[in-house]
């Protein structure tokens, strides 16, 4: 085991994938000499050369569109979108091509494309640099969508995503890039939990708290705080946002009877809505209270100085936990 930051774990995962399979390519803006604005591709160009770690011209639609063509030629491109807010110019290529080509060709053409997206807020960034666009991709059939929350998953899941014959949108919480954890660099990705599986990161009996990405840490903190008040929270890290591992989620809700979902993204038609709707459909009779969402507001991502009001935090999560426990309200009265 090696202690690595989440960022370095991603670098290691990319390096391993490039070393294992010479059809793997890394491409994007500034991924070469600079190593990416977050240094995730640091050192890879000098190690693997400029034909495998490719600085591209500044155009996201073309980055994804040429990656599609490379995939058709048998490559496995790993595309870096510089920030979450810059994925939209590539939306057409992702939705109409990446997601549909396997279906369109009845399986003749595979799309083993990984689209890495440094993601979400809490880092005091400028406009368009803190977006949580995951629901757009979750709603798009044909894509797999994952979000990592710790260095080990970052390393393993990135390699699994690259190895997958399906296109994977891979979300990396910027806020956790510098957080550290133990990583087993030698583990076989076939032995690890598969891409589509959620993980119970803390056992609990009273409330199921489902989240992903940087919010996993917030959720764990909330669970610790709640413990002091005698509330036992089970925390689930979704890991895969599409498909959602409903087996793990519903098993938990069946035992707790109470569900809270937390994410930074806007609430309307977000991932939280999906989970609550599906859980309600699948285990209505086990629910003892209305499931609750703790999410960003339905607003454009606000200026940095205001972002802490927008993001779910420990207090807002505990407030929702109180609500789902029918405890009146920790603070204020949310109707």
Partner 1 sequence: MTSTVNPSTADPTTANTSPANASPANAEARPDPHAPAAGDLAQLLSPDGERGAHPLLDDWAGDIDDTRLAGLYRDMLLVRRIDAAGVALQRQGQLGLWAPAEGQEAVQIGITRACHDDDFFFTSYRELGVLVARGARPADLVLGWRGEVFGTFDPYDLHVATPQIIIGAQTLHAVGYAMGVQRDGGDQVAVACFGDGATSQGDVSEAMVFAASFGAPVVFVCSNNQWAISEPVGLQSHLPLAGRAPGFGIPSVRVDGNDVIACTAAMRWALDHARSGRGPAYIEAVTYRLGPHTTSDDPTRYRSADEVALWRTRDPLLRVAGVLRERGLLEAAEAEAEQAAAEFTAGMRRAALEATTRPPLAVLDDVYAEPHTGIDRQREQFSAYLEGFADDEEGTR
Based on the shown chain and the rule CB under 6 A, indicate whether residue 82 belongs to the binding site for ligand TPP: yes
The binder of 266, among a second copy, ligand TPP, partner 1, none, by C-beta within 5 to 8 A per type, is a second copy
Piece of 10-18, 54-62, 171-179, 285-293 that binds partner 1 (CB under 8 A): 54-62
Q: Which residues are catalytic?
A: 129
Binding pattern for the stretch 34-63 against ligand TPP, x by CB under 6 A and - elsewhere: ------------------------x-x---
Number of residues that bind partner 1 (CB under 8 A): 94
Does 284 bind partner 1 (CB under 8 A)? Our answer is: no
The CB density around residue 79, as the number of other CB atoms within 10 Å, is: 30
Q: Does the protein bind partner 1 through residue 37 (CB under 8 A)?
A: yes
Q: Which positions from 112 through 131 interact with partner 1, judged by CB under 8 A?
A: 124-129
Residues 80-109 that bind a second copy (CB under 8 A): 85, 88-89, 91-92, 95-96, 99-100, 103-104
- Applying CB under 6 A, which of residues 23, 61, 89, 255 lies at the interface with ligand TPP? 89
86 interacts with ligand TPP by CB under 6 A: yes
Taking the least distance from each CB to a second copy, the nearer of 78 and 265 is 265
Shortest reach from residue 48's CB to a second copy, in Å:
31
CA dist 160 and 64 (Å) reads: 20
C-beta of residue 214 within 8 angstroms of C-beta of residue 122: yes
Applying CB under 8 A, which of residues 245, 256, 292, 293 lies at the interface with partner 1? 245
Q: Which does 187 bind (CB under 5 to 8 A by kind): a second copy, partner 1, ligand TPP, none?
A: none
Tell me how many residues contact ligand TPP (CB under 6 A): 6
Tell whether residue 33 is a contact of ligand TPP (CB under 6 A).
Answer: no
The closest alpha carbon to 76, from 144, 25, 117, 31, belongs to 25
> Should residue 299 be labelled a site residue for a second copy when binding is judged by CB under 8 A?
yes
Tokens of 167: 């296109």
| Smallest gap from residue 293 Cβ to a second copy (A) | 7
Q: Which residues contact 187 (CB under 8 A, 6 or more apart)?
A: 156
Residue nearer to ligand TPP on the CB measure, 65 or 89? 89
């Amino acid at each position: 085991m090696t202690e690595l930051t989440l960022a370095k774990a991603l670098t290691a995962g990319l390096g391993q994938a490039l070393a294992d399979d010479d059809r793997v390519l890394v491409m994007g803006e500034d991924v070469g000499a600079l190593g990416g604005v977050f240094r995730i591709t640091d050192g890879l160009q000098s190690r693997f050369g400029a034909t495998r770690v490719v600085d591209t011209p500044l155009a996201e639609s073309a980055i994804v569109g040429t990656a599609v063509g490379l995939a058709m030629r048998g490559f496995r491109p790993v595309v870096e979108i510089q920030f979450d807010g810059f994925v939209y110019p590539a939306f057409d290529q992702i939705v109409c091509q990446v997601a549909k080509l396997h279906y369109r060709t009845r399986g003749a053409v595979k799309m083993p494309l990984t689209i890495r997206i440094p993601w979400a807020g809490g880092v005091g960034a400028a406009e368009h640099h803190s977006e949580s666009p995951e629901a757009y991709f979750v709603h798009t059939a044909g894509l797999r969508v994952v979000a990592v929350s710790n260095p080990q998953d970052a390393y393993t899941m990135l390699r699994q995503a690259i190895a997958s014959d399906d296109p994977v949108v891979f979300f990396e919480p910027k806020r956790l890039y510098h957080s550290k954890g133990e990583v087993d660099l030698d583990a076989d990705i076939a032995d690890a939990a598969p891409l589509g599986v959620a993980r119970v990161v803390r056992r609990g009996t009273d409330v199921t708290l489902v989240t992903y990405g940087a919010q996993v840490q917030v959720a764990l903190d909330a669970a610790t705080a709640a413990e002091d008040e005698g509330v036992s929270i089970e925390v689930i890290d979704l890991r895969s946002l599409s498909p959602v591992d409903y087996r793990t989620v519903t098993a938990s809700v069946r035992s707790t009877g109470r569900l809270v979902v937390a994410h930074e993204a806007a609430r309307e038609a977000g991932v939280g809505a999906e989970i609550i709707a599906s859980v309600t459909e699948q285990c209505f009779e086990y629910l003892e209270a209305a499931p609750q969402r703790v999410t960003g507001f339905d607003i454009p991502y606000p200026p940095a100085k205001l972002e802490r009001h927008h993001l779910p935090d420990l207090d807002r999560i505990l407030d929702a936990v109180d609500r789902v426990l029918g405890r009146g309200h920790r603070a204020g009265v949310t109707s």
